[in-house]
Amino acid sequence: MDMGMIFLVVSALLVTVTADVYIVTIEGDPIISYKGGENGYEATAVESDEKIDTSSELVTSYARHLERKHDMILGMLFEEGSYKKLYSYKHLINGFAVHVSPEQAETLRRTPGVKSVNKDWKVRRLTTHTPEFLGLPTDVWPTGGGFERAGEDIVIGFVDSGIYPHHPSFASHHRLPYGPLHHYKGKCEEDPHTKKSFCNRKIVGAQHFAEAAKAAGAFNPNIDYASPMDGDGHGSHTAAIAAGNNGIPLRMHGYEFGRASGMAPRARIAVYKALYRLFGGFVADVVAAIDQAVHDGVDILSLSVGPNSPPTTTKTTFLNPFDAILLGAVKAGVFVAQAAGNGGPFPKTLVSYSPWITTVAAAIDDRRYKNHLTLGNGKMLAGMGLSPSTRPHRLYTLVSANDVLLDSSASKYNPSDCQRPEVFNKKLVEGKILLCGYSFNFVVGTASIKKVVATVKHLGAAGFVLVVENVSPGTKFDPVPSAVPGILITDVSKSMDLIDYYNVSTTRDWTGRVKSFKAEGSIGDGLAPVYHKSAPQVALFSARGPNTKDFSFQDADLLKPDILAPGYLIWAAWCPNGTDEPNYVGEGFALISGTSMAAPHIAGIAALVKQKYPQWSPASIKSALMTTSTVIDRAGRLLQAQQYSDTEAVTLVKATPFDYGSGHVNPHAALDPGLVFDAGYEDYLGFLCTTPGIDSHEIRNYTNMPCNYDMKHPSNFNAASIAISHLVGTQTITRRVTNVAEVEETYTITARMQPSTAIEVNPPAMTLRPGASRIFSVILTVRSVSGVYSFGEVKLKGSRGHKVRIPVVALGHRH
């Protein structure tokens, strides 16, 4: 082998090692905004909020033209084989994703006609009883023809980890037959092994996007599946929350926990898999999935995903590639629900920023699962465990894992985790309750309650107790279903009570070996839920405002989150091969928490609103959900939020709009809001153009439109909320409302605010005919500068019973 050959091999290796995925945007309009002008290609753009017919010859020929242009630029600049184009983006943005070296990326940056070159980066997932809690079966579904019609002909797109198509939540046989869908044109991939389609009449589209993941070397086809198959569980869970079939028996370990149903059980599901279980996903794949979903004609997009870290190329939160492409989706008339993020309870932890997106915070609903351990000394210790009880009226001997080992050498396996049955002496454990330690391994997922259950079964124990001895702040404990009696004692002081009782009751010889086990106890029934009036509450993990306009965390003049929906301990479909949660491996359902679970609740409820009002814009649907939401819990008190106390214990505090946005969703009221605050593409553009600190060239890069400053201030964007981050003296804000009821109605307008800010409204009343719009003003004045936001609301009360409420937040400054 001569030296020249060796050099060639090495240099080829070098190229592959240093290549990265870049997202490149090109001058010229994408399909959604092309108004004509290029030789031989007619306009493909439509008015704001309208659907484009993507199968028309006009659109397909312009799409081919854009793709040829992308290929031409790459072919002109680089040698064949030195780069790999992964995607051409044509619908919402004009550009492509390409795998090239940093030097080639620099060449692209300098090429005329190239607008931007962004290095790809990672995104992450934001990780049943709720239809009843939200009043759907009694108040909402009957008005639309019952659950058999709830969400009919609405397509919800899920950009997530795929779907397990064989789950009963997604079955279409034994169901009322579905009619044809004329507006949706998505593809259905086949399972590469069985050659069966991923679709049925319920799942109408199924595609996967992994080119960037493959190029980055992160994709493993054995566990990630080169198909829409869910390798994680998260995608099946979110799809079932929004649109799962009604009345699916939720059985686990021989016990039925209830019946599962989606918010819009007749809505169709379109799957765009771009998330994978080990590494999350890449923006290039997610952008391709969103672009395809809008091109295919979905009505609603549910996104339980957010950027992992700020992008390097834009300082503006509203123009990160996520929000920028979603602006195109909303322009095409698609309603977008996105999880707020799980970084709570700390301020400014949101990963969803823009006015065109509906940002969803997570609530705890009224169902709680509790259990208790009764000790032989009469003490009852509270804990959690979705398990059956030990036999009634009987106490069982308690044995600690470390006291029943076969030999002392087993201690190197961390035996107190109870993960390995082979290290224990079966004779000593059989028929007794095994005490195990809840170590850090459970928090990181290397130990699981599912494995403790397997150990207990293998040894013939009567049950188990998992004892939390020390807790790091922010550890969240969720009850896990168990086939055997079991309980997790999460309160450290209760754990100490148990350990003290065990030590006093257990006699040992001089070496420390146990002579006799005399501690006793019994485990209660944890299967039956307890319903609380103090619901909903804002969940601890739910990301909080204020919203930020840039990645140096300056406050934005827009309230986020927008709305609160259930996101704590949600039962829904799981895929048996999903490994996202070690406690649910091999199961058909899972009970999990996250703003990931809250977003599909809103996507499904938005489907019910869109079904009733098919012509409404995404902004109108969002407004209907927000203005009818509630800030009162079931007990009639103001909403509370979970927060950390000074001692880092979880406590409840009075919640604010930075926790819940406009309030907790009320689906029944959202179907008849009276008034809506509508907005379209021009309004979103005005919001961007008037936000201080955003470069107008950057806006033009993303929108292909010149700036328009008529709005004067971003607070005048017609949102169903008001936020002013820098209030000096007096500021007047305007809002435009439209009567969407079928009758004329007179509204009286009132407002109130915390004392440091004065608030007035003008006019005090107005009458609107059906379909008519009117403008009103809100005047805010600084009374005293306290350094903290003051909160308030504007209420519009209709003569025919409609109630419209919007939150107001303002931070007063001296100058």
Closest listed residue to residue 416, CA positions, set 399, 438, 431: 438
Residue 515's beta-bridge partner residues?
Answer: none
CA 332 remoteness from chain centre? 22
Rounded Cα–Cα distance for residues 640 and 345 (Å): 13
**234 among known catalytic residues:** yes
Backbone φ, ψ for residue 324 (5° rounding):
-65, -45
Which residues, including other chains, have CB under 8 Å from residue 717's CB and lie 6 or more apart? Answer: 355, 558, 679, 683, 684, 686, 687, 711
The Cα–Cα gap between 677 and 215 comes to 44
Instruction: Retrieve residue 473's tokens.
Output: 């702040």
CA distance 106 to 117: 8
In degrees and rounded to multiples of 5, residue 3 shows phi and psi of: -60, -35
**Distance (Å, rounded) from C-alpha 51 to C-alpha 33?**
12
Catalytic residue flag (residue 726)? no
The tokens describing 789, both together, are: 């936001």
Distance CA 434, CA 420 (A): 13
814: three-class secondary structure by DSSP: coil
Among residues 91, 129, 234, 664, the one annotated as catalytic is 234
Kindly give, in sequence order, each residue whose CB lies less than 8 Å from that of residue 617, ignoring residues fewer than 6 positions away.
Answer: 48, 49, 333, 678, 679, 680
The closest alpha carbon to 208, from 225, 223, 193, belongs to 225
Instruction: Supply φ then ψ for residue 699, to 5 degrees.
Output: -60, -45
* Burial 530-543, CB ≥16 within 10 A → b, else e: eebeebbbbbbbbb
β-sheet bridge partners, residue 276? 280
Q: Which of 289, 298, 160 is nearest to 230 (CA)?
A: 160
User: Which one is catalytic: 160, 224, 232, 365?
Assistant: 160
Question: Pick the catalytic residue: 227, 439, 596, 725?
Answer: 596
CB 699 within 8 A of CB 689: yes
Angle between helices 696-703 and 681-690 (to 10 degrees): 160
DSSP-derived letter for residue 76 is H
Separation between Cα atoms, residue 79 and residue 103, nearest integer Å = 13
Q: Is position 160 annotated as part of the catalytic site?
A: yes
Q: Buried b / exposed e across 83-109, counting CB within 10 Å, b at 16+?
A: bebbbbbbbbbbbbbbbbbeebbeebe
| Type of residue found at 492 | V
> In the structure encoding, which two tokens stand for residue 120, read together?
């790809």
Question: What residues are annotated to the active site?
Answer: 160, 234, 596
